[in-house]
Amino acid sequence: MRPCTLTWRRRGALKGVATCLLNRALGWAKDQGYDRCAVDFEPMNPQARRFWTRHFDCVAYTLVRRLDALEADVREV
């Protein structure tokens, strides 16, 4: 499997434009021999979350904790 990346920033996008771009990009990727496409987005962006979860299935959640914050917590104990 080869990675496929699609990114763009668009504020106030017209309805349907992003879906059209996505469908064209996925069609191109399929024609190039890709069989999967993964998407990474920031879930705190409600528009992005709504869009991507309409078009893709969730397969993982990723959590991050900054280690410098952990060091500050440990020093206070």
* Tens-digit pLDDT profile for residues 31-70: 999 999 999 888 788 888 999 999 999 998 888 888 886 6
**Mean pLDDT score, 11-23:** 76
- Alpha-carbon distance 76 to 17, whole Å? 51
> Which residue range(s) make up the domain with 67?
17-76
The answer to pTM > 0.75 is no
Q: How many domains does the chain have?
A: 1
**Mean pLDDT score, 15-19:** 80
Q: Say yes or no to pLDDT of 14 above 80.
A: no
Give the pLDDT band of residue 5 (cuts 50, 70, 90). low
- Alpha-carbon distance 11 to 42, whole Å? 15
